Amino acid sequence: MDAKEVKSTISNLEKSVDETTILKLLNILNDEVVPTEKLLRETKVGVVVNKYRSHDNKEISSLVKKMIRSWRDAVQNEKNSKKKSTASSPVSTPASSGSAASTTVPNADKSGSGPAANGKTFTGPRNAKSDGVNTTLYDNPTRNASVGALYSSLAVERDDSPQHIITIASEIESEVFKSEYSKVNDAYRNKLRSFTMNLRNKKNPELRERVLSRQIGAAQFIKMTPNDMAPEALKKEIEKLHKQNLFDAQGATEKRAVTDRFTCGKCKHKKVSYYQMQTRSADEPLTTFCTCENCGNRWKFS
């Protein structure tokens, strides 16, 4: 079917009122249209067909949903392969190609179109709105906003299906809500803030992976402290620092030295041995432990 034929078919479709004719014309379009970006853009067939997605007749609405989904996937695939072949060319502009795909075929498919078609081709970061996902799950706007925030955080650099992300996001929100005895209070807000912040951390893809793969279930996740959630790389760094500190402390005890800089408070002798140690956190001054070599008096200062 060329553009002219497509146009005349959709013009007939728009004039049709009885469901049998509508269904017949939609089936013709479904069978005959070879979905390319050029054809869809030129004929606006996607936009016209999409008007029937909420039709009372279930046969019509489900056919339309199927058609839109497969056309959109075809256009995305076309985009992706084009992008690959021109990857080295500086002329390729992902910004314009991304938006072109979404204007050619309406992005109204709430059920999601599978992982491949989403995320990568859109220029901005993914969120529930850009994925066409409904986050109005409750009467409470704060709870809905929390689900939306979790959604965008979980979606960072991910290509999981919108359905999967919304499922995980709402599970986490529900668990937090339950843990606060079904109240939206300050503790609820603080927890949500901490979880969304940690989940959307670009340096922490491991956390998103473990939560989205359910390696960490929602109930377990909401019990995690910021330290538990820290990226593996950061954890290793902390561990290394900790070991280093212990080593330094041990090293210090071996470096016990005698000096005449200190005076014993008891016998006033100046033959005092001492060592220094990190007794509190790393950024606080060292503590000096002194022993009088004459009378055995011990003291410390920092």
Determine which residue in the list 147, 216, 264, 290 makes contact with Zn ion, applying CB under 5 A. Answer: 264
Hey, what are 292's tokens? 């009088």
Kindly state whether residue 66 participates in binding Zn ion, applying the rule CB under 5 A.
no
Q: What 8-state DSSP symbol labels residue 180?
A: T
Per-residue interface string for the shown chain with Zn ion, residues 208-247, x marking contact by CB under 5 A: ----------------------------------------
**3-state SS, residue 82:** helix
Of residues 100 and 295, the one with the C-beta less far from Zn ion: 295
**Distance between CA atoms of residues 134 and 148, nearest Å:** 9
Per-residue interface string for the shown chain with Zn ion, residues 4-23, x marking contact by CB under 5 A: --------------------
Residues that bind Zn ion (rule: CB under 5 A) add up to a total of: 8
Per-residue interface string for the shown chain with Zn ion, residues 114-153, x marking contact by CB under 5 A: ----------------------------------------
Distances (CA, A) of 193 to 98, 210, 216, 229: 31, 19, 19, 13
Which stretch, 29-37, 155-163, 255-263, 289-297, contacts Zn ion (CB under 5 A)?
289-297
Of residues 149 and 264, the one with the C-beta less far from Zn ion: 264
Distances (CA, A) of 127 to 4, 195, 241: 37, 16, 37
Which stretch, 32-40, 102-110, 197-205, 259-267, contacts Zn ion (CB under 5 A)?
259-267
Q: Shortest Cβ distance from residue 301 to Zn ion (Å)? A: 16
**3-state SS, residue 196:** helix
Q: What 8-state DSSP symbol labels residue 126?
A: P
Count the neighbouring beta carbons within 10 Å of the beta carbon of residue 241: 11
Determine which residue in the list 297, 298, 300, 302 makes contact with Zn ion, applying CB under 5 A. Answer: 297
Of residues 197 and 257, the one with the C-beta less far from Zn ion: 257
Computed on alpha carbons and rounded to an integer, the radius of gyration of the chain in Å comes to: 32
Residue 66 CA to its chain's centroid (Å): 28
Residue whose C-alpha is closest to residue 229's, from 216, 243, 219, 213: 216
Q: Please, which of residues 26-55 interact with Zn ion by CB under 5 A?
A: none
Kindly state whether residue 294 participates in binding Zn ion, applying the rule CB under 5 A.
yes
Of residues 80 and 297, the one with the C-beta less far from Zn ion: 297
**Distance between CA atoms of residues 98 and 134, nearest Å:** 22
Q: What 8-state DSSP symbol labels residue 125?
A: P
Of residues 180 and 293, the one with the C-beta less far from Zn ion: 293
Q: Shortest Cβ distance from residue 286 to Zn ion (Å)? A: 22
Of residues 12 and 263, the one with the C-beta less far from Zn ion: 263
Residues 6+ apart with CB under 8 A from 270: 260, 261, 262, 263, 264
Kindly state whether residue 267 participates in binding Zn ion, applying the rule CB under 5 A.
yes
User: With contact defined as beta carbons under 8 Å apart, do 26 and 59 qualify?
Assistant: no
Q: Shortest Cβ distance from residue 196 to Zn ion (Å)? A: 60
**Distance between CA atoms of residues 75 and 35, nearest Å:** 7
Give the footprint of Zn ion on this chain (CB under 5 A): 264, 266-267, 269, 292, 294-295, 297
